[in-house]
Structure 1
């Protein structure tokens, strides 16, 4: 596994400082590797800032978090890392606070839910870099053939699923609670039932009455009535559910922008609507973000800040978002994209972002809680599953993990 160097910075160059950035690759081939994006950004920045060189190492998502962890462990932290999680490094005191490196204008431009998700104890360390939300996808051919309209409430979703099941659709509603990405499907359903992973003061509330009610409904009204397909939800992974949707075997499922590309490639026509809630559209949908962080080790606070202000310019944020079909993390870029693509498919995801809720990634305990959810959440919808009991066990372990932080 070789890092890909972008930019001209290196030994022997005349720059006063060489910044090192490790970044994740959002491309799916050499042709659209993130290396190309960073090459362009670095060239523009270095032209404007002759005293600062930037070296970028682009690594696959399979490796990037682990590689950064190893670098930090060896005492060789990069100046900047654009990866999946920041909270551990913040808790260890290894990161600059966002307001120590960013201009006021740049920091104020982040969308509020994303900036808040970057906080540990109300101080922002994680700078959102890329984001997405989720929508309910439905197969338009299956819906048209059955004369159905997309659901806006749980009861409508169940009614549609019953018709699809009667017509022989393999997965009327695909419910991937398997270990691959169970925390996402779990949170989407919690939010649609008025709950979530945490309460208003950011304490874990996994076993809340709303969450127990949501999973009881899922167990009895969808899974128990045979409306979620031949495979137990606890064994169905998201990748498998997406692939089945792209084969035309799924009536409905929750999905993110990547699924649009997959479905189109296979010629499956689809529509997308906001997640149904108990009695109508859910109050909030799930958002996710990847993170940029600035390490203190090399002391390049000022130079790193200059580069980050450049990276987060409206032009660069928009270019990245448009290239990879993901949502901008700043208000200025979001407003521009909404004006340009408001009625487009990506525009529908964008519309959900301001009220989205993210995983509680600012808690170092979240990694452990997420692992517990992956392992156990499928049990809540089994035939004799006890949602209150399973959620209670996950909650108790979450509280214990948090008190050990």
Structure 2
């Protein structure tokens, strides 16, 4: 789905007029799960309030689904027509190509200093911050309490063997998706990373080189193939065809026993009356010691200039009021320390506390590597085939490793 909106707004604080009028283009991702809560509405309200005090610059905001937004921006860049700002999933390849303003050239010092420190580090290429964090989340295992009770399961799993046993009990009780395993192209890189971390592996080793085909990772995906997918415990849709949005929707409809989820799933499930619990993803011998954290990125492209106008608007985007409004609307975690502190202290945000507690210790994608966008795209394309009946987890992971090593060498 593509939602496009043209909104009039913004400039510098003093406003501009006549020949000085500027048009800024912002491309953003849609965090909503339906037309009723599309992120179009968030940007509509934000820009409308901004333009009341900052006339003179026209802002065209286009909102794309997460399935499309990164590709759409790449097409614009490749065509020589990048937007002024893009809120997307990766930034490092554009930074390495010299296409982005550093954060220090567009943001005020107070705004830049307020970001959570791990996001600042993750946003750096060669020691310079180019990726501006926009929204964050961590992941937990969600389970349907009613389905667990009906299947005779008395407590959530703490190891992956217990998870498989619980999934088998759910299947025997007629649950459509005992464990929903979304390895479809929407967000396969996230589901994959969660399982790799729970299996004491990950995308990179201790020195930052790709280690996709490590022994731990091969063991993890062999287990997924043999113990979950191979025993028909992941539902009627093949994992490689199941997207995260569809898995979440099925959980909210009461059709899923367990699924890995981020905070927005809480609201979706609660709206449908699903009683759920949340625990860390089970690992080989107990709850996973490592947790995946994710942040999405705002970027400011150099080509069209307008540095001052872009910076003035982004300072407004990142004030506490707007950061909290976005985080609360979409059940995501703030990327600024001041908004995080406000959320931690607020009774209305108590449901997010388990995710907020995980954030400081979470591991992020290797987004600072300029090869990561290509590696991530390759994972989305290939990883689902690793768990098919005729698939080879070791073979697929080695293919991914070979391509990642070559991409890293070209950085």
TM-score where L is the length of structure 1? 0.86
Q: Give the superposed CA RMSD.
A: 3.2
Instruction: Kindly state the Cα deviation for residue 74 of structure 1 after the two structures are TM-superposed.
Output: 5.0
Tell me the SS of whatever aligns to 1:344.
Answer: helix
Instruction: Kindly state the Cα deviation for residue 304 of structure 1 after the two structures are TM-superposed.
Output: 2.8
State whether structure 2 residue 292 is matched by structure 1 residue 291.
no
Query: 2:26 is matched with which residue?
Result: 22
Instruction: Kindly state the Cα deviation for residue 39 of structure 1 after the two structures are TM-superposed.
Output: 4.8
1:58 to 55, 62, 66: 62
Change in 2 beyond 3 A, CA 1:69/1:167: closer
- Give the Cα separation in 2 of the matches to 1:382 and 1:33: 34
Query: 2:355 is matched with which residue?
Result: 349
State whether structure 2 residue 109 is matched by structure 1 residue 104.
yes
State whether structure 2 residue 310 is matched by structure 1 residue 304.
yes
1:185 to 166, 186, 191: 191
1:195 to 201, 206, 225: 201
- Give the Cα separation in 2 of the matches to 1:16 and 1:187: 48
Check whether the contact 1:369–1:394 (CA below 8 A) recurs between aligned residues. Answer: yes
Instruction: Kindly state the Cα deviation for residue 14 of structure 1 after the two structures are TM-superposed.
Output: 5.4
Map residues 266-345 of structure 1 onto 2, 5 A cutoff.
Answer: 266-341=272-347, 344-345=350-351
Change in 2 beyond 3 A, CA 1:280/1:111: farther
Query: 2:145 is matched with which residue?
Result: 140
Map residues 137-286 of structure 1 onto 2, 5 A cutoff.
Answer: 137-145=142-150, 146-286=152-292
Check whether the contact 2:264–2:330 (CA below 8 A) recurs between aligned residues. Answer: no
State whether structure 2 residue 368 is matched by structure 1 residue 367.
no
Check whether the contact 2:196–2:202 (CA below 8 A) recurs between aligned residues. Answer: yes
2:133 to 128, 134, 143: 128
Instruction: Kindly state the Cα deviation for residue 173 of structure 1 after the two structures are TM-superposed.
Output: 1.8
1:117 to 113, 118, 122: 122
| Larger deviation, residues 68-77 vs 243-252 | 68-77
2:92 to 81, 87, 95: 87
TM-score where L is the length of structure 2? 0.85
Consecutive unaligned residues of structure 2, counting only runs of 5 or more, are none
| Larger deviation, residues 208-217 vs 344-353 | 344-353
Question: Can you list the C-alpha shifts for 1:238-261, whole angstroms capped at 9, x where unaligned?
Answer: 344334323323211112234334
Question: Can you list the C-alpha shifts for 1:61-118, whole angstroms capped at 9, x where unaligned?
Answer: 3665455445444544443222333233212211111122223332232223333332
| Larger deviation, residues 312-321 vs 240-249 | 240-249
Question: Can you list the C-alpha shifts for 1:197-228, whole angstroms capped at 9, x where unaligned?
Answer: 11233221101122122223323433344433
